[in-house]
Structure 1
Amino acid sequence: MTDLAARLDPDFEPETNNSGNRPFADVVKARLDRRSFLRGGLGLAVSGFVAGPVAACARRPEAQDASSGPSLGFNAVPVSSTDTIVVPDGYEARVIYRWGDAISGDFPAFAPDNSGEDQAHQAGMHHDGMHFFPIEGDSPWQGSSTDGFLVMNHEYIETRFLHYAVTQGSEISSWGTPDHAGPRPADHVLKELNAHGVSVVRMRADANGNWRVVADPRNRRITGLTRMEIAGPARGHAKMATFYSPDGTHTRGTLSNCAHGVTPWNTYMAAEENWSGYFVNTDGEMPREHARYGVRPDVSRHNWHLADDGGDGYVRFDASTKADAPAGDYRNEPNMFGWMTEIDPFDPDSTPVKRTTLGRFAHEGVVFAPAEAGQPVVCYSGDDSRFEYIYKFVSDGAYQPGVTRGDILDTGTLYVARFNDDGSGEWLPLVYGQNGLDESNGFTDQGDVLINTRTAADIVGATPMDRPEWGAVDPETRAVYFTLTNNTRRTADQVDAANPRADNAFGSIIRWNEADGDQASTRFNWDIFVLAGPEGDSRDVNGAPLDQDAIFAAPDGLWFDADRRLWIQCDISDSALNSGVYTPFGNNKMLAANPDTGEIRRFLTGPVGCEITGVVTTPDQRTMFINVQHPGANTSEAGFAAANFDSHWPDGGRTLPRSATVAIRRLDGGKIGA
């Protein structure tokens, strides 16, 4: 792969953390040197720190009853490299929502020559995080299990498949376009922007469990062009002023939406992850709010700013200085991205809101702790880049069921995590005027701290992690789990207790308890739930290697169901699947784990070249939805030219591979996984 091709690849992550902060791998190495670590778990290593038993994972795993925790009532499926979905005996999986399936307008049928306007009414590309909202609209977790809104992210695009009417027969890579150098046809750019964003689509199941799209005026696509409101401390900031919004209060679009969040007040949060590659800044010197996030000086991923009609919605992706003041150009446009965007799935006229108090970085998603009346709202988010950080937000206001809305997220404190060798940790506040976050380090106010969240975290001494991805909170114990997917750039001298391996190809899952059972505490205790990898290089929470039914690598998606099964999804890069150190794992997969005993079983394997991502059940737990993203992404240039794609999932034959949502159910009608 050439250097230019690598920088156009959606998976390309420029390393921008030069803080010198002690990396997590150093902490984990020290922690592994303590004999108690993986065999004693969290409670043994830090007993006495927590006042009273706050979580099941604070007990020694070897002291637990082997039958404790949720059941895993299925036989593990084998490792697979076939081009299909494999689920356990007694289950079935049906495709219900593909890229290009229509949801609104005049319901345009999917075709390789769909227009940019067509795409605005169809499912976007590369389905990712999602949630099922029961149709009653009262609660995100209770209500109908046969009728509701599926809301999901569409993370990024593969232009060679998106524009197949033009690209077919060409030897072209997954990250390129034939007209990348410009000028670019405006309708191609429109189609690409409309293939990003979020779907809000009503789905209903019939008596046989078949789910279908329902025509509903609330169905809508939120795309890279949808008007958005800015809320929180960065609203109206001088660094948010653009030609489109001189007062810095609005912007257009949400991009690179990976995982998500579900608020206690029944709204959806779309994360903005690897957004920096969409911009270019040719100024001789970039501001840190560009440079620290990886905005490039020479090329952008899709060169949208080179659209041949010069449309304002396209030229904004050139963040170079072109006017006397920020209100005359788009030098601040990158500052409009990297936030969590709140969407009301039940109000099609509502404007999505970017909640800036939650920080600006490569948000993988956000996970809320169970909300309690009279207590602050608490949520967690990972910055999914190598050597980046884990964050927590605690609201100033108290949660009031039926009253609280999204504006509670506009005032509060954003913290960043520091992990210590002894299994303890601190949440470090990112507050203007504290811990060096002042004029001496170039900050002017709290809005500036949040626009430059990564730099602020560098300064206060946060622990650089191995790509923090999804988080999940145990609904019973309140323990918090996060996937650390991998980091092959970590060297031996960068190993620490929480990131224990150099050249970390396999990843891990870390977990912690907040001190004294208080989710808003500034102290916590941590351990590692599992070190992923093959049988010869892995460890479960009891210190034993993973067996053939449990091996996995590159953990990414993570979710607890209502019975406390922990669902783990994998994202080995499509270019590395079934090769090298990843050969034993086959295609990407989903597993279920018992958080008390540490038992893990493989539940599902996906088609060739895909990532398995997005997971949720209906309230009765009898239907599970998962997403299959970018099947066939590893198709070679020659294979693409010959229409010999590595995957033809989900439709088979010689069809284009398409990301899609899958509904899974037990044939006996029972709960998934039980």
Structure 2
Amino acid sequence: MSEVRTNITIVDNGNGDEPQISYTDNRTFASVLDARLARRTVLKSTAGAAALGFMSLGLAGCLDSSSSSSRRSPGAGEGEGGPLVTFKAVPTSESDEIIVPEGYSYQVILPWGTPITGSMPAFDLANTGEEQGMQMGSHHDGMHFFPIEGEEPFEGSSDEGLLVMNHEYVEPRFMHLDHIGQELGSGAVIMKGDVRDRDQALKEINAHGVSVVHIRKRSDNRWELVQSDYNRRITGRTHMELAGPVRGSDLVRTKYSPDGIATRGTLNNCAMGVTPWNTYMAAEENWAGYFRNRDAEIPREHANYGIRANDSRYRWALAEGGEDEFIRFDATSTGASATEDYRNEPNCFGWMVEIDPFDPDSTPIKRTTLGRFGHEGVVFGPAIEGQPVVCYSGDDSTNQFIYKFVSEQPFQKGVTDGSILDTGILYVAKFNDDGSGEWLPLVYGQNGLDAGNGFRDQADVLVNTRLAAGLMGATPMDRPEWGAVDPNNGDVYFTLTNNSGRSEPNGANPRTQNRHGHIIRWQEANGNHASTTFDWDIFIFGGDAGESGQANLAGKDANGDALTADNLLSSPDGLWIDKDSRVWIQTDIGEGNQNSGVFEVFGNNAMLCADPATGEMRRFLTGPIGQEVTGVITTPDQKTMFINIQHPGATTTPQEWAAGQRYVRSTWPDRNPVRVPPRSATVVIWKDDGGVIGT
């Protein structure tokens, strides 16, 4: 173990989330919701309820284990018409364990630091920055299992494939030897005078990004890493191209790419997407906190995303040596033009990044037509031959918006590739009081998106997507996060994680603060995902069942019934719908709130499963201490599930850290508190009888 450095300063930059921007001229979602549910209450008692279609059911009748057992039929959940959710719910938990239902087993694989490529350096806290670039990144997040045939994203082998996953951010105190014994909170870094240690900064950059890992199932249901040319790390310093209308724009010209066609790295990759042509889309979410700008006047493409004069999240721009790959995180104007500094570097982030997992030599591409904001992820509608490609994305910040992209060109199986995302229209959602909705086009020259409001061209509209959406009158939402599309009926779901700053109550869920979030869903007009109108409803409201003593915080389903001990939840975040239409919901109660106050009743973060046809919802899994459950996918046969556990032990206090109690909160998954910190990792889950996950 190395000595603790002298002449150091501890800097705690918080969690780096983007600012909560309020558009005071737009209707709040609370006011829209109130009117919508009041109207629906009337319709439920009339023949008009039939006209609501998919919205008339809601998530009703949250039954206990015994009541659902009596309704179970042979082959349930395997395409024979039986109930989809038949496992016994697990209770809430505050233990440092993974807990799955009776009859299920799990395995932990691919924790942060697992060697996957290059010289295969074994994990050690003394690993260098270069070695980290050959290992699994940190803070596992959204992911997908690509069957090894490489032909279809959801069909093919269930025994071998490429697991591709995001690594959202890092926790420096768990990464560096000289951070041991210091009073450090989550996210804090140590300075050496006025600079950061170069190798520590490099290690943190290389722990971001995406991992592509070849894995294979053994005969005992356990999975193993395959040494393969497919294995790859894409990090915060990987060369990438820009595509779409922003490519070549003056807004993205930098010293690294004077012609504005390239950049380095991807950061804060949260959720993801899978294209119909079998590639992976990594989202760039809370990227703004990685930059600083000390100019006297900060441009709107920085200010509207939270870039300020204060030092950035990890102070990479101050890495000793002053190398270009670190200086780029300082967006202050220092040269005579943009091609002599990095004033435009932040404009190269906030995009969806397309990666071909089956071509390890391919260059990742940032698809700018999908807009620049805090992308939580992207979810594609069904790809239909001869029709446009449609995908949805949420901007994960309070009072931000939900977007949809519709391609200009039609989908052609076997021909279409990622270039189809470079031409088309980006829309933003407006939710009307009467349960209808509109998609508003963000097109230069239309509806005020012109020189009168400071827009020069379509590239300017896309770089300033948030501003354009606000000017159009889009509905500010309560932190839009993951989206999902039901593969059987096309319904679109989005999690709205929370908004503790809401001051207006609503009739259906009468709380003055949306601390626990909800899930919204909609159906496009005539079942056409390219439509410009839709009908919407609320799928579920998060919250407790009154145990906290604050009845106004009680969670309710769409019909007004309280959630039960088997399914209460707070802060829905991760979301996925499997091929049988099970809705998988993952929670992300923040580090500062877990197991305390009104959040105590929810225990550790968890994953639940809902059947929208019957209304059943049950808790399927609880995670260890301090973590977030995130990322979910099954193999094509639905008999193996992969989920990620992110930042276990993150609730460790600075005082505990300084006292040498580094792992007092969590030792998951290694159980080696002497040498190994808590590590983000992937969990493989299977049913002991070989059945479908969820039954």
Do both share a fold (TM > 0.5)? yes
Q: Identify the match of residue 687 of structure 2 among 654, 657, 666.
A: 666
Question: In structure 2, what is the Cα distance between the partners aligned to 1:141 and 1:610?
Answer: 28
Residues 292 and 523 of structure 1: CA distance in aligned 2, closer, same or farther (over 3 Å): same
Question: In structure 1, what is the Cα distance between the partners aligned to 2:33 and 2:192?
Answer: 43
Question: In structure 2, what is the Cα distance between the partners aligned to 1:19 and 1:497?
Answer: 22
Residues 132 and 520 of structure 1: CA distance in aligned 2, closer, same or farther (over 3 Å): same
Deviates more, 1:631-640 or 1:603-612: 631-640
The residue that corresponds to 1:324 in the other structure is 336
Q: Deviations over 1:479-530 (max 9, x none)?
A: 00000000101222xx579997432111000000001111111000000000
Q: Deviations over 1:81-128 (max 9, x none)?
A: 000000001101110110000100111000011000100010111000
The residue that corresponds to 1:283 in the other structure is 295
Residues 70 and 564 of structure 1 are in contact (CA less than 8 Å); yes or no, is this contact kept in structure 2?
Answer: no
Q: CA deviation at 1:7?
A: 7.8
User: Counterpart of 1:643 in structure 2: which amino acid?
Assistant: Q
User: Counterpart of 1:516 in structure 2: which amino acid?
Assistant: N
Question: SS at the partner of 1:118?
Answer: helix
Given the alignment of the two structures, is residue 200 of structure 1 paired with residue 212 of structure 2, yes or no? yes
What is the CA RMSD across the aligned residues, in angstroms? Answer: 2.2
Q: CA deviation at 1:62?
A: 7.6
Q: CA deviation at 1:639?
A: 1.5
Q: CA deviation at 1:535?
A: 1.4
Q: Identify the match of residue 110 of structure 1 among 117, 120, 123.
A: 123
Question: SS at the partner of 2:165?
Answer: strand
How is 1:266-305 mapped onto 2 (pairs within 5 angstroms)? 266-305=278-317
Given the alignment of the two structures, is residue 442 of structure 1 paired with residue 442 of structure 2, yes or no? no
The residue that corresponds to 1:652 in the other structure is 671
Question: In structure 1, what is the Cα distance between the partners aligned to 2:141 and 2:633?
Answer: 12
Question: SS at the partner of 1:178?
Answer: strand
Q: CA deviation at 1:162?
A: 1.2
The residue that corresponds to 1:370 in the other structure is 382
The residue that corresponds to 2:467 in the other structure is 455
Q: Identify the match of residue 511 of structure 1 among 521, 525, 528.
A: 521
Q: Identify the match of residue 233 of structure 1 among 242, 245, 258.
A: 245
Question: In structure 2, what is the Cα distance between the partners aligned to 1:315 and 1:285?
Answer: 20
Residues 57 and 596 of structure 1 are in contact (CA less than 8 Å); yes or no, is this contact kept in structure 2?
Answer: no
Question: SS at the partner of 2:657?
Answer: helix
The residue that corresponds to 2:34 in the other structure is 29
User: Counterpart of 1:188 in structure 2: which amino acid?
Assistant: Q
Q: Deviations over 1:169-203 (max 9, x none)?
A: 22211111111763112111110100000000101
How is 1:82-101 mapped onto 2 (pairs within 5 angstroms)? 82-101=95-114
Deviates more, 1:643-652 or 1:257-266: 643-652
Deviates more, 1:337-346 or 1:29-38: 29-38
Question: SS at the partner of 1:416?
Answer: strand
How is 1:64-83 mapped onto 2 (pairs within 5 angstroms)? 70-83=83-96
Given the alignment of the two structures, is residue 336 of structure 1 paired with residue 361 of structure 2, yes or no? no
Residues 336 and 498 of structure 1: CA distance in aligned 2, closer, same or farther (over 3 Å): farther
Residues 168 and 643 of structure 1 are in contact (CA less than 8 Å); yes or no, is this contact kept in structure 2?
Answer: no
The residue that corresponds to 2:494 in the other structure is 482
Given the alignment of the two structures, is residue 532 of structure 1 paired with residue 542 of structure 2, yes or no? yes
Q: Deviations over 1:359-407 (max 9, x none)?
A: 0000000000111101100000000000000000000010011110000
Q: Identify the match of residue 431 of structure 1 among 443, 456, 460.
A: 443
How is 1:39-78 mapped onto 2 (pairs within 5 angstroms)? 47=51, 56-57=54-55, 70-78=83-91
Question: In structure 1, what is the Cα distance between the partners aligned to 2:479 and 2:451?
Answer: 30
The residue that corresponds to 1:411 in the other structure is 423
Deviates more, 1:326-335 or 1:590-599: 590-599
Q: CA deviation at 1:425?
A: 0.6
Q: Identify the match of residue 161 of structure 2 among 148, 153, 159.
A: 148
Question: In structure 2, what is the Cα distance between the partners aligned to 1:21 and 1:61?
Answer: 29
Given the alignment of the two structures, is residue 421 of structure 1 paired with residue 463 of structure 2, yes or no? no
User: Counterpart of 1:652 in structure 2: which amino acid?
Assistant: R
Q: CA deviation at 1:9?
A: 1.7
Q: Identify the match of residue 612 of structure 1 among 616, 629, 637.
A: 629
User: Counterpart of 1:519 in structure 2: which amino acid?
Assistant: H
Q: Identify the match of residue 15 of structure 1 among 16, 20, 26.
A: 20
Residues 193 and 225 of structure 1 are in contact (CA less than 8 Å); yes or no, is this contact kept in structure 2?
Answer: yes
Q: CA deviation at 1:146?
A: 1.1
Question: In structure 1, what is the Cα distance between the partners aligned to 2:599 and 2:632?
Answer: 24
Residues 190 and 196 of structure 2 are in contact (CA less than 8 Å); yes or no, is this contact kept in structure 1?
Answer: no
Q: CA deviation at 1:168?
A: 1.1
User: Counterpart of 1:522 in structure 2: which amino acid?
Assistant: T
Question: In structure 1, what is the Cα distance between the partners aligned to 2:689 and 2:22?
Answer: 51
Q: CA deviation at 1:5?
A: 10
Deviates more, 1:18-27 or 1:4-13: 4-13
The residue that corresponds to 1:643 in the other structure is 661
Question: In structure 2, what is the Cα distance between the partners aligned to 1:209 and 1:121?
Answer: 27
Q: Identify the match of residue 598 of structure 1 among 615, 626, 639.
A: 615
Q: CA deviation at 1:57?
A: 4.3
Residues 624 and 663 of structure 1 are in contact (CA less than 8 Å); yes or no, is this contact kept in structure 2?
Answer: yes
Residues 481 and 495 of structure 2 are in contact (CA less than 8 Å); yes or no, is this contact kept in structure 1?
Answer: yes
Question: In structure 2, what is the Cα distance between the partners aligned to 1:180 and 1:58?
Answer: 61
Residues 295 and 61 of structure 1: CA distance in aligned 2, closer, same or farther (over 3 Å): closer
Q: CA deviation at 1:643?
A: 3.2
Aligned-pair identity (%): 58
Question: In structure 1, what is the Cα distance between the partners aligned to 2:236 and 2:662?
Answer: 31
Question: SS at the partner of 2:452?
Answer: helix
Q: CA deviation at 1:633?
A: 0.3
The residue that corresponds to 1:121 in the other structure is 134
The residue that corresponds to 1:384 in the other structure is 396
Q: Identify the match of residue 598 of structure 2 among 558, 569, 581.
A: 581
Question: SS at the partner of 1:80?
Answer: coil
The residue that corresponds to 1:134 in the other structure is 147
Question: SS at the partner of 1:261?
Answer: strand
Residues 60 and 558 of structure 2 are in contact (CA less than 8 Å); yes or no, is this contact kept in structure 1?
Answer: no
Residues 25 and 500 of structure 1 are in contact (CA less than 8 Å); yes or no, is this contact kept in structure 2?
Answer: no
User: Counterpart of 2:577 in structure 1: which amino acid?
Assistant: F
Query: TM-score by structure 1 length?
Result: 0.95
Question: In structure 2, what is the Cα distance between the partners aligned to 1:79 and 1:633?
Answer: 19
User: Counterpart of 1:650 in structure 2: which amino acid?
Assistant: P
Question: In structure 2, what is the Cα distance between the partners aligned to 1:500 and 1:509?
Answer: 16
Q: CA deviation at 1:638?
A: 2.1
User: Counterpart of 2:593 in structure 1: which amino acid?
Assistant: A
Q: Identify the match of residue 173 of structure 2 among 131, 145, 160.
A: 160
Residues 39 and 472 of structure 1: CA distance in aligned 2, closer, same or farther (over 3 Å): farther
Question: SS at the partner of 1:614?
Answer: strand
Given the alignment of the two structures, is residue 522 of structure 1 paired with residue 532 of structure 2, yes or no? yes
